[in-house]
Amino acid sequence: MDSRMGSLLGCLFIVAALLQGGAAQVTHVVGGNVGWTIPASGFSYDTWAANQTFRAGDTLIFNFQTGAHDVAVVSAADYTACTKGNPIGTILNTGPASIKINTTGNHYYICTFGQHCEAKQKLAITVGSSTGSPTSAPTPSTTPTTTGGTSPTSPSSSPSSASSVTVGAFSILLLSTVIAFFY
């Protein structure tokens, strides 16, 4: 019985370590129910971003109508000035667009259609490490920084809300199996 209890406690320790080290990858639907569009009075992508926690490994989903909007990754300077001619990578013009965030730091996105960026259809986020502390929206500076580390993926079906896949569910299943095995 003592060796079984020791083995059980060892397994519990391993599961706890997995929970501490494993980070959830989250899918953020940019703008929530508003989507990626020219924001109406009273809505701000800055406010939306300030209420999110972005980590490396997360995915951004930009829900928009193809032909009406697009998404370009840009530098801080291009974000601030709404400069459309210097995108980092390919402009995503098929909605919904999905971008996986691969690196930490500040990331900037704009719509290049007409005056959409000037009308505040732009997003600035700060991405923390997958195991770091929460982050907030960056304040664009006059020092240009690039946003390398984001990679567009093929359009996917439009999720109705943000979802996450966590190590927790797997760990609970593993823990239940271990307990059932020993008892």
Of the listed ranges 59-63, 79-83, 95-99, 133-137, the one predicted with least confidence: 133-137
| Lowest-confidence region among 80-94, 119-133, 169-183 | 169-183
User: Where does the pLDDT of residue 182 fall: very low under 50, low under 70, confident under 90, or very high at 90 and above?
Assistant: low
Whole-number pLDDT of residue 107: 98
The average pLDDT across 116-124 equals 98
Does residue 120 carry a pLDDT above 90? Answer: yes
- Report all structural domains of the chain as residue ranges with CATH numbers, in order of start: 23-182 (2.60.40.420)
Q: Is the per-residue pLDDT at 180 higher than 90?
A: no
Torsions phi, psi of 11, nearest 5?
Answer: -65, -40
Average pLDDT (40-55) is 95
* CA pair distance 72, 93, nearest whole angstrom: 9
Looking at residue 119, what is its pLDDT?
97
Residue 156: per-residue pLDDT = 39
Q: Average of pLDDT values for 71-95?
A: 97
For residue 129, the model assigns a pLDDT of 85
Q: What local confidence, expressed as pLDDT, does residue 121 receive?
A: 98
Q: Which of 37-41, 118-122, 153-157, 168-172 has the lowest mean pLDDT?
A: 153-157
Residue 81 above 70 pLDDT?
yes
Residue-averaged pLDDT of the chain: 75
**Is this prediction's pTM over 0.75?**
no
